[in-house]
Structure 1
Amino acid sequence: MKVWINIIWISLLAGSVNAEKPNIILVFADDISARELPIYNSDVWSKPGYGNTDDPALRAQTPVLDKLAEEGCWIRNAWAATICSPSRAMMMTGRYAHLHKWWHNGDYGKSFDEQDRKITWPLYESSPVQLGQVAQQVGYGTYWAGKTQMTLDHVARYGFDEGIFTPGGSITENPSTDFQIIQKKVDGKKVMVNRDSGLPGGSFPTFSYFWMPSVQLLNHPSAEDELVLWPNTPKTRASFGPHTYGPDLEMEFIFDFMDRTHEKGKPFFIYHTSHLGHGAFDWLRPEDEGKWPGTPVIEWTGKGYVRTEPRVTGDKGKYDTHGTVTPSGIHHQINYLDYQMWCYQNKLEELGIAEDTIIIFCADNGTHGYGKGNMDRQKGVHVPLIIYAPGMKKRGEQDILVSIADMLPTVAELVGADIPADYEINGESLVPFLFTEKADHRDWLYSYKSERQLARGNYVLKDGKDKWWDVSTMPADLNSFRQITDWSKETELFREERKKLLSIIKPFDLYATEHDAPSYKSDRKGNE
């Protein structure tokens, strides 16, 4: 089914930005809980080897994001799904799993392809209005960078003109790099082996997405095919090596696309699904147990960042970074995201479009080792959300409830696209809240992990373990809420909100009865 998006004029945005169609940069970071960003003022955060710490030396420093949050706004309670694939499905479709059928990593609704083979039901079929499409179909240049979590064989169907993809979805083995974990049988047992060194290493098969990464390009002007491996020229192959950093490549190609799109007089929508925040095997330091490989060294001077060009020598698992790569730790990766947001700002100033561009920064689920995949209270779903748009009414902290599903209708309204009235969207546009005196946004949030459902209002929360919590106040660690065990002792306000939440989530509770595409029949016991 093709759902056409019709252009509309948005009076709410009149005077809010200088462009009739503002540029939008949406950065969707990976596995970062709200508590990791200093603006959320948690008294604990994640240490390099997983677990909690209150050591200031292991705290991220984010001066650029802090300023964006102060001059724009930051959302106290933003929810995603508990893990990446369903969260990205929520972001890209504006819908919950009862419609798109991506219930959890490895737990997807099934359908059949044209050859009658059983497949994961693609999002472009379950939910034909996609995040990229709402911008693309009203004349935007659209670019997707980083981790897709989608198979790449039909990636153009998601509404993006071009892209640069690093592993996190289907990617062809890249002959330019041996930074790959492969599965082998040794003495009859399956073991993971680091191809670079030939030694055991890693916990699952993967290609590198940080240092010397596997890379594919979508529709790049220099390539004849829709999808090509990179590096793809003698010059780029000669400069590629263990010093090559995937997040830097993403910015290089994004900026090239911004230049070319701006020269054509078109607005752009950048969907930057960074790997930063995600744990990984460290090919440069295979013995390191820090979980989050280091980044190029950066320094904040008070006025801007100074970046040290990475220098890496060695081979076969033995490398010297010559002091140009940080130690491991999620705080270093968050710091590098802050550096990239500074790079974005500089690029916008260079192009003269800073006042015509909206920036959104968020993440897909909680931190690995703390929140990722976790149904306890809001550990898995509570993510950072910062929005900056010239001329918006709201500033600083906003104690409201926002779902990642709200991003699609928000982007649609910002770019001037109309979603058909008979097409179900679970998200709600933030535009009225951001650009008017509207005091609130929504009064409940919903999320899921397979058959388990989570929901919260302003006063109470039901987690995925069917426990209830008092969320009327925010604890110092952002999660140690008071558990509710005796509803007879709670106020009528709390009891009424509980009743309302149970009623709200009931229509979404279709895991047991409508797990797959409508055309797919299964008894859910493996007897298809």
Structure 2
Amino acid sequence: MRQSGRGAEVASQAYGIGTLFLLLSLTILLLPTRCGAAAPTRNVLLLISDNQNAADCGCYGIVQTPNLDRLAADGVRFQHAFATTASCGPSRAVIYTGLQTHANGQYGHGHGYHTFRLKPKVTTIFQRMQQAGYRTALLGKQHVTPAEAYPFDFDPRISGRDVVGLAEAAETFIRESGDQPFFLTIGYSDPHPTSREGDGWGIVREDPRLERLDYDPDEINVPAYLPDAPEVRKGLAGYYQQISRMDQGVGRVLTILDELGHADDTLVIFTSDHGSSEPGAMANHYEPGIRVPFIVRKPGLAGGRECNGLMTLADIVPTVLDWTGQKIPAELHGRSLLPILGTPDPEGWDEVCLTHVCHEVTMYYPMRTIRTRRYKLIWNIAWRLEFPHPIDTLERATWNGVLQRGDTHCGRRSVDQLMFRDEYELYDLEQDPDEIHNLAGVPKHREIRQQLAERLERFCRETDDPWLLRHDFPGDDFGRHDRRK
């Protein structure tokens, strides 16, 4: 029955009030971030050293790094972390995109005349974080291109060697972020060599705010990939000195997190872009070039742990996205590390694939590599070329000392091996950790080399490696281009 008069008016008012109440209730439910049930803030601090080998901090072996040691004691230390390419600019592109070099487009350095840059449709972690409502900053060494792919809300120009200035800028950025979540990356320039002349390492400019730690060249254990010569020992002493300075900068930033109340809501990651810039390291896929330190401190997770899973720097973007509650795009080449942080020996983390194209524009030497717990297979696509050592290697004392003395070896590897490579290199890392004896053409290793080649080829095809448009993996003839036959 239809109502009329005063009854209809009362009913209409009651309906309107009920509707308004329902709308208000729905609004409250749909806005949890502005009410008492707000989701906890999740920030990110990414710390990247420059040209640092995996073993070169206290918690991994040598060098005095009490602050990194404290971070490891509170977090998880990865024992098998790898840069996918041992070149600064390309490696940072991998770190910031989650895509390996052959896919992201930055095949070499982007600065100066090199002009390499990300492909137009590649999205960086800085873009993703801004879209998710985060404030972003990349302090210190940037080495990124193009600029439009790297949006920063805070961008003061500070030297990557000014570790105190970097910490002060980090504090300003975090304070200015207020209640807005932040994604902060600090790129240290240590322990990258300080010059191209002489040994090239060591603190050039003193900072009275920091303690200078000196290392005695005579007491240093020279790693097997380097010659035991006076200039090498002197260079290592300066290199260690720079690492200890950088460590003090890390300590200051961690203290700032504590003081500003963000230690319990910030995921902290420390790593290096790749290993040393010495011969056999930078621009190579040998262990000294690709093995890096990697530490993760996750709030709420008990520290002092180790993880033996094999991972790469392409895993950083998925890890950050996972931590901040964002979807991980299927096209990325890495995986989130969060599920394995509490697992010493995670299943399914037993191999990594790596790709390199060049260092600088004149140093083309594309490589594709698969590394398991025991074996490594390297495909030197341009094997006919003489290996193009980076400028960082060519113009400093270690390599020049080898040449001037007429040495046949640089460390355990022969000069001939460094300069002229076989198309395929297969190493048994358990029996030959220094990667001296190439087993690719040895008949008894036929099965393992074929298995590794098939898995590496599958990875390249699944990730649309453009080099496969011109170059082919072998069938069973791995010794077809062995220079020493």
Q: TM-score, normalised by structure 2?
A: 0.65
Hey, what does 1:469 align to over in structure 2? 427
Residues in 2 aligned to 1:504 and 1:107: alpha-carbon distance in whole angstroms:
30
Hey, what does 2:467 align to over in structure 1? 511
Residues in 2 aligned to 1:31 and 1:504: alpha-carbon distance in whole angstroms:
27
Residues in 2 aligned to 1:339 and 1:65: alpha-carbon distance in whole angstroms:
9
Quick check: 1:62 aligned with 2:62?
no
C-alpha change, 1:490 and 1:121, in structure 2 (3 Å) is closer
Return the offset for 1:469. 0.9
Listed as ranges, the matches of 1:312-461 within 5 Å are 329-375=238-284, 377-392=286-301, 395-421=304-330, 424-434=331-341, 439-440=346-347, 442-450=349-357, 451-461=366-376
Residues in 1 aligned to 2:59 and 2:432: alpha-carbon distance in whole angstroms:
14
Residues in 2 aligned to 1:385 and 1:453: alpha-carbon distance in whole angstroms:
22
Residues in 1 aligned to 2:459 and 2:447: alpha-carbon distance in whole angstroms:
18
1:335 aligned counterpart, secondary structure:
helix
Return the offset for 1:462. 1.4
**Which residue among 188, 210, 219 is the counterpart of 1:307?**
210
Return the offset for 1:93. 0.8
Contact 2:276 2:282 in 1 (8 A): no
Higher normalized helix content (fraction of residues): 2
Which structure has the higher relative contact order (CA within 8 Å, separation 6+)?
1
C-alpha change, 1:415 and 1:376, in structure 2 (3 Å) is closer
2:289 aligned counterpart, secondary structure:
coil
Residues in 1 aligned to 2:211 and 2:201: alpha-carbon distance in whole angstroms:
19
Hey, what does 1:270 align to over in structure 2? 184
Contact 1:290 1:328 in 2 (8 A): no
Listed as ranges, the matches of 1:175-254 within 5 Å are 209=159, 246-254=162-170
Q: Which has the higher mean CA deviation after the structures are superposed, 156-165 or 357-366?
A: 156-165
Residues in 2 aligned to 1:380 and 1:307: alpha-carbon distance in whole angstroms:
29
Quick check: 1:33 aligned with 2:37?
no
Hey, what does 1:147 align to over in structure 2? 141
Contact 1:86 1:104 in 2 (8 A): yes
Return the offset for 1:289. 2.9
1:259 aligned counterpart, secondary structure:
helix
Hey, what does 1:24 align to over in structure 2? 44
Return the offset for 1:341. 1.8
**Which residue among 110, 118, 121 is the counterpart of 1:123?**
118
Contact 2:67 2:251 in 1 (8 A): yes
Residues in 2 aligned to 1:104 and 1:329: alpha-carbon distance in whole angstroms:
27
Q: Which has the higher mean CA deviation after the structures are superposed, 388-397 or 93-102?
A: 388-397
Hey, what does 1:164 align to over in structure 2? 156
Count of matched residue pairs: 359
C-alpha change, 1:255 and 1:471, in structure 2 (3 Å) is same
1:34-75: CA deviations, max 9, x gaps? 13224333xxxxxxxxxxxxxxxxx52112212322331111
Residues in 2 aligned to 1:400 and 1:437: alpha-carbon distance in whole angstroms:
8
Q: TM-score, normalised by structure 1?
A: 0.60
Residues in 2 aligned to 1:460 and 1:120: alpha-carbon distance in whole angstroms:
35
1:383-420: CA deviations, max 9, x gaps? 11111112236743221111111111111111121244
Contact 1:100 1:126 in 2 (8 A): no
1:380 aligned counterpart, secondary structure:
helix
Name the Cα RMSD after superposition.
3.6
> Residue type matched to 2:151 in 1?
G
2:264 aligned counterpart, secondary structure:
helix
Structure 1 residue ranges without an equivalent (≥5): 1-17, 42-58, 109-117, 167-208, 211-244, 283-287, 300-305, 310-326, 516-528
1:358 aligned counterpart, secondary structure:
strand
**Which residue among 448, 452, 456 is the counterpart of 1:501?**
456
C-alpha change, 1:308 and 1:37, in structure 2 (3 Å) is closer
> Residue type matched to 2:118 in 1?
L
1:135 aligned counterpart, secondary structure:
helix
1:224-270: CA deviations, max 9, x gaps? xxxxxxxxxxxxxxxxxxxxx63332222121111111xx2122111
Contact 1:457 1:501 in 2 (8 A): no
Larger radius of gyration: 2
C-alpha change, 1:276 and 1:386, in structure 2 (3 Å) is same
Residues in 2 aligned to 1:120 and 1:401: alpha-carbon distance in whole angstroms:
32
Identity %: 27
> Residue type matched to 2:143 in 1?
Q
Higher normalized strand content (fraction of residues): 1
Contact 1:433 1:439 in 2 (8 A): yes
C-alpha change, 1:426 and 1:356, in structure 2 (3 Å) is same
2:349 aligned counterpart, secondary structure:
coil
Contact 1:433 1:441 in 2 (8 A): no
Residues in 2 aligned to 1:408 and 1:252: alpha-carbon distance in whole angstroms:
26
Residues in 2 aligned to 1:308 and 1:394: alpha-carbon distance in whole angstroms:
27
Structure 2 residue ranges without an equivalent (≥5): 1-37, 213-235, 358-365, 381-420, 472-485
Q: Which has the higher mean CA deviation after the structures are superposed, 363-372 or 398-407?
A: 363-372
Return the offset for 1:438. 8.2
1:180-220: CA deviations, max 9, x gaps? xxxxxxxxxxxxxxxxxxxxxxxxxxxxx46xxxxxxxxxx
Contact 1:147 1:274 in 2 (8 A): yes
Return the offset for 1:486. 5.4
Residues in 2 aligned to 1:376 and 1:348: alpha-carbon distance in whole angstroms:
36
